[in-house]
């Protein structure tokens, strides 16, 4: 296939009208250039597609679809033309990034994700009303504008299907991106409006959970997994409003007849969010496009930023041999980075102890460096909750170590929550041993003799030697509680979880003070009961 880029080096007018200025991007089917319309003076995004194969046909179909659409959520088309080598579509030019880029950067808060999905559905409802089905709804086909409030544009109707129009694909061919294709399309049925609704449901599930619902599924098993339907979002995000969870579940019904229309789902998403905002002032989910700016989104960034800065400051202050004045500077840098670049902030916070640990023991620094690198990889998808394990050393001295499972519920994913708990108990134990204090579940540990060790294996062996073997089982018990908490959605389940947690902790730690363990398990059950009653009233 020829490239669209080499045809424009002279910046000569295209179609005697558009003057290319600079490339905006390119892909397998062509490229997009920033151009100036010499007739109107407007800057446009000029899509250029070679006239070879199906790409040109799809470009023509895209232009036809764009010409029918007149909606603020659909990228406006100014014109269409072709020459002997290429097809051209002139779109309005707006600054922004794709929803995929925003999700990868960890900058799409829950309120913004819900509002973006509602706006996508509004654009799709407009298209469906004109007999157009998008058929390729995915994050990379949604443009998020560089504005204070959420504003999106729906892109790329190149795979669109029109009522009573011939398809561009052969029998059995499924156009679009597999991860967002609905079950009925995989079964060979024609795409309809419900297929687009499925795509939005997958997109919103992914934005709220921090990972795709079928992430990790082998490609050869993907069709089977999609046909079975997406797993419940509540397992990943039990903190979300029940009405919102139900709306997403309806959008992902395997039977297309059970899915709501795009307009109905947009209304339901906003109602669910608005109801949550009215019922709980402390946990607002303000998503209206005409509402005030997202104060909650800002707070959601400031709280992790403050926690990151304090954690970095504490880590640097309590470790030996840190150069004077560095601790505060690194802590401030980590806090500021957490606001705009949460992954960079997490990396800085995790890296801060390496230098002082190296002054104590090279082996310990290498051991911790391996842990920090692994932890950064684990928390890459959700960096703002990457330091949740610090709840361990904070709660343990107060006798509240059993509250750690509740403290890590903001972490998304069963495995991630379990590992956060294990890390919290481990860090609390190491901190207690270094201070000569009692371990989280009772008993004491000798101060580890780490000075001068050069091998990370020796450092790990020294740490393990001073910690009792039962500590690992106790950490696993708390990890199991953290994983099970989202399951506790009724009073009977909450009671069962509390009983199982008490039995496991008391059996595994017979010498631990019973009163703090019983009290913290009761507090956990009380918090879950309050959540249950609050959601019941909200719904």
Handedness of CA 112, 348, 388, 302 (dihedral sign): negative
Concerning whether 136 is annotated as a catalytic residue, the answer is yes
Any idea which residue has 């309809």 for tokens? 192
Question: What is the rounded CA–CA span in Å between residue 294 and residue 100?
Answer: 20
Domain ranges of the chain: 18-92, 97-158+176-260, 389-537
- Run of H or E residues at 33: strand 30-37
Residue-wise pLDDT tens for the chain (539 aa)?
Answer: 444 444 554 567 888 899 988 888 776 677 888 899 999 988 998 888 888 777 777 777 777 777 778 888 988 888 888 888 888 888 888 888 889 888 887 778 898 999 999 999 999 999 899 888 888 899 988 999 988 889 999 887 644 444 433 333 333 333 446 789 999 988 888 889 999 999 999 999 999 998 889 887 787 788 888 888 888 898 888 888 889 999 999 999 999 999 999 999 999 999 988 765 555 444 444 444 334 333 434 444 555 556 666 666 655 555 555 555 666 666 666 666 656 577 777 777 777 777 777 777 888 888 888 888 888 888 877 777 777 777 777 788 888 888 888 888 877 677 888 888 888 888 887 777 666 667 777 666 667 777 778 888 888 888 777 777 777 788 888 888 888 887 777 788 888 888 998 888 888 777 777 788 888 889 988 888 887 676 555 44
Which residues have a Cβ under 8 Å from the Cβ of 139 and sit 6 or more positions away?
98, 99, 100, 103, 203, 206, 207
pLDDT of residue 30: 77
Question: What is the rounded CA–CA span in Å between residue 423 and residue 429?
Answer: 10
3-state class (DSSP) for residue 161: strand
pLDDT of residue 173: 36
pLDDT of residue 163: 44
Query: Does residue 94 contact residue 134 with C-beta atoms inside 8 Å?
Result: no
Handedness of CA 145, 149, 42, 83 (dihedral sign): positive
Question: What is the rounded CA–CA span in Å between residue 35 and residue 18?
Answer: 6
Any idea which residue has 């956060």 for tokens? 420
Pick the CATH number of 18-92 from 3.30.1330.80, 3.10.20.90, 3.30.465.10, 3.30.200.20: 3.30.200.20
pTM for this model (two decimals)? 0.54
3-state class (DSSP) for residue 240: coil
- Catalytic-role residue among 37, 83, 110, 136: 136
Tokens read off for 246? 């139900």
pLDDT of residue 298: 47
SS3 string, 414-448, reads HHHHHHHHHHHHHHHHHHHHHHCCECCCCCECCCC
Tokens read off for 479? 């990890």
Angle between helices 110-129 and 193-209 (to 10 degrees): 170
Pairing between β-strand 86-92 and β-strand 77-82 as defined by DSSP bridges: antiparallel
The upper half-sphere exposure of residue 301, i.e. CA atoms within 13 Å in the direction of its Cβ, equals 19
Q: What is the DSSP letter of 36?
A: E
Handedness of CA 134, 136, 138, 143 (dihedral sign): negative
Question: What is the rounded CA–CA span in Å between residue 36 and residue 31?
Answer: 16
Neighbours of 14 (CB within 10 A): 20
DSSP string, 79-98: EEEE-SSEEEEEEE---EEE
Question: What is the rounded CA–CA span in Å between residue 203 and residue 211?
Answer: 10
Buried b (16+ CB within 10 A) or exposed e, 21-56: beeeeeeebbbbbebbbeeeeeebbbbbbbbeeebb
Query: Does residue 529 contact residue 491 with C-beta atoms inside 8 Å?
Result: yes
Question: What is the rounded CA–CA span in Å between residue 282 and residue 517?
Answer: 28
What is the dotted CATH code of the domain comprising 97-158+176-260? 1.10.510.10
Tokens read off for 77? 């088309």
Query: Does residue 393 contact residue 222 with C-beta atoms inside 8 Å?
Result: no
User: The sheet that has 77-82: what strands, in order across it?
Assistant: 18-27, 30-37, 43-50, 86-92, 77-82
Nearest to 390 by CA among 325, 444, 309: 309
pLDDT of residue 10: 54
Question: What is the rounded CA–CA span in Å between residue 435 and residue 437?
Answer: 5
Radius of gyration of the chain (CA): 27
CA dist 2 → 13, 46, 85 (Å): 20, 17, 9
pLDDT of residue 358: 79
Tokens read off for 305? 């930023």
Q: Residue 86, by phi and psi: left (phi above 0), alpha (psi -120 to 50) or beta?
A: beta
- Give the bridge partners for 46, in sequence order: 33, 90
- Tell how many helices (H) and how many strands (E) occur in the chain: 20, 10
Tokens read off for 104? 């990868």
């Amino acid at each position: 296939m020829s490239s669209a880029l080499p045809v424009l080096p002279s910046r000569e007018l295209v179609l005697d009208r558009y003057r290319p200025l600079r490339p905006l991007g390119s892909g397998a089917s062509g490229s997009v250039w920033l151009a100036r319309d010499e007739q109107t003076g407007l800057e446009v995004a000029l899509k250029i597609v070679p006239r070879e194969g199906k790409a040109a046909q799809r470009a023509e179909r895209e232009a036809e679809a764009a010409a029918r659409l007149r909606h603020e959520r659909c990228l406006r088309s100014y014109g269409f033309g072709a020459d002997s080598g290429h097809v051209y579509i002139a779109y309005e030019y707006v600054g922004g990034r794709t929803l995929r880029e925003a999700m990868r950067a960890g900058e799409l808060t829950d309120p913004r994700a819900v509002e973006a999905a509602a706006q996508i559905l509004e654009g799709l409802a407009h298209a469906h009303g004109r007999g157009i089905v998008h058929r390729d709804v995915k994050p990379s086909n949604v443009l998020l504008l560089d504005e204070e409030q959420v504003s999106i544009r729906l892109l790329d109707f190149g795979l669109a299907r029109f009522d009573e129009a011939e398809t561009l694909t052969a029998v059995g061919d499924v156009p679009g991106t597999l991860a967002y294709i609905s079950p009925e399309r995989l079964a060979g049925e024609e795409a309809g409006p419900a297929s687009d609704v499925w795509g939005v449901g997958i997109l919103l599930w992914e934005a709220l959970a921090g990972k795709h619902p079928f992430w990790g599924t082998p490609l050869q098993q993907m069709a089977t997994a999609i046909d079975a339907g997406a797993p419940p979002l509540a397992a990943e995000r039990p903190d979300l409003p029940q009405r919102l969870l139900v709306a997403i579940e309806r959008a992902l019904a395997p039977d297309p007849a059970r899915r709501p229309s795009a307009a109905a789902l947009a209304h339901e998403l906003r109602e669910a969010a608005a109801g949550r905002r009215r019922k709980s002032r402390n946990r607002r989910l303000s998503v209206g496009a005409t509402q005030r700016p997202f104060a909650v989104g800002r707070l959601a960034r400031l709280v992790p930023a403050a926690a990151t800065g304090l954690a970095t400051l504490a880590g640097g202050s309590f470790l030996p041999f840190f150069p004077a004045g560095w601790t505060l500077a690194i802590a401030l840098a980590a806090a500021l980075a957490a606001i705009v670049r949460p992954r960079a902030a997490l990396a800085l916070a995790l890296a801060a102890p390496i230098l002082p640990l190296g002054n104590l023991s090279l082996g310990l620094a290498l051991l911790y460096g391996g842990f920090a690198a692994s932890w950064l990889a684990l928390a890459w998808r959700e960096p703002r909750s990457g330091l949740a394990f610090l709840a361990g050393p904070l709660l343990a001295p107060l006798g509240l170590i059993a509250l750690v499972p509740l403290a890590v519920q903001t972490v998304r994913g069963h495995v991630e929550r379990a590992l956060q708990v294990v890390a919290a108990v481990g860090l609390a134990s190491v901190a207690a041993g270094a201070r000569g204090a009692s371990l989280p579940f009772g008993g004491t540990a000798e101060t580890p003799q780490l000075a001068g060790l050069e091998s990370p294996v020796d450092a790990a062996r020294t740490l393990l030697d001073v910690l009792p073997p039962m500590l690992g089982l106790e950490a696993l018990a708390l990890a199991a509680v953290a994983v099970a908490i989202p399951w506790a959605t009724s009073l009977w389940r909450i009671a069962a979880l509390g009983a199982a947690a008490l039995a496991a902790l008391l059996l595994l730690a017979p010498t631990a003070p019973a009163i703090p363990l019983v009290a913290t398990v009761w507090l956990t059950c009380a918090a879950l009961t309050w959540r249950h009653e609050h959601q019941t009233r909200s719904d």
